[in-house]
Amino acid sequence: MIALDLTAKSFGATQVLGPMRLRVEPGEVLGISGPSGAGKSTLLRILAGIDRRFEGGLEAPGRRAMVFQSPTLMPWRRVIDNVTIPTGATTAEAAEMLARVGLAGLERRWPGQLSLGQARRVGIARAFVGRPELLILDEPFASLDAERIEDLLALTAALIAETRPAVVLASHAEHELATLATRRARLDGRPARLIEDQRERVRAGS
C-alpha cells in the first residue's frame, strides 16, 4: 500500500499542491486526470520518492518503479543494459521480460535504433522486471498512434493483473483511464487538490 498525507508542495514562494490524502492498495489502479500544468507529474514524482521536498508524510513500499512521459533510456547502453542496470535484474530475467513485451531479439540494440513504441516497451519491461509493489505511470503512452496504444494498454493491463502492484496512473486520455483504472480522481485548482470520483469507486467495487 501507498499512503500520502500531503500538506503542501511549493516551488519557491508558489504553492502548487494543496492539502490532500491518498491511499492505494495492492491491485488497485488510481487513475488521475486534470489539466496540463495542474501538477500531476509533480505528484507522481513525490509518490515515486524522486521529489522529497514537500510538507507532509509518505508511506510507500520499497520496490517502486516509474514509467515516464518520455522514454528515459541510457543512449550509451544497449537495451538489455537499460533493464538490468537500473533494476539489478539478471540478464536472464531482463531477457525474459523483454520477450514478454515483444522485444525478443532486440536485446543488443542501442536505444537510438528503436522506434518510440519499442522504447516505451523497454520502459515497461524495466518497470515490471523487479515485480514492483508500487508502479507509477506518467502519461506512459503519450505520442503513440491508436494501434500501438491498444497493444501497450493490453500488455500493461496483463502485467498489472499478474503482479498486482499498487498503481497510480496519470493521463489525459479517457480511454486509457477507463481501461486501466479501478478508481478515478481529478487534480485541479490553484494550488491543486485531488478530488476522487466516488462514483468510480462504487463502480469498481461492484
**Domains along the chain?**
1-63+167-206 (3.40.50.300)
Single pTM value for the model: 0.91
For residues 159-167, average pLDDT: 96
Task: Provide the residue type at 70 as one letter.
Answer: S
Which helix (DSSP H) or strand (DSSP E) does residue 196 occupy?
strand 193-196
Give the pLDDT band of residue 202 (cuts 50, 70, 90). very low
- The least confident of 47-51, 118-122, 166-170, 193-197 is 193-197
Residue with cell 537510438: 112
pLDDT of residue 198: 66
Task: Give start and end residues of each alpha helix (H) in the chain.
Answer: 40-47, 79-87, 91-100, 116-129, 146-163, 174-180, 198-205
pLDDT at site 73: 96
CA distance 163 to 87: 16
Rounded Cα distance between 187 and 11, Å, is 17
Count each helix (H run) and each strand (E run) in the chain, helices first. 7, 10
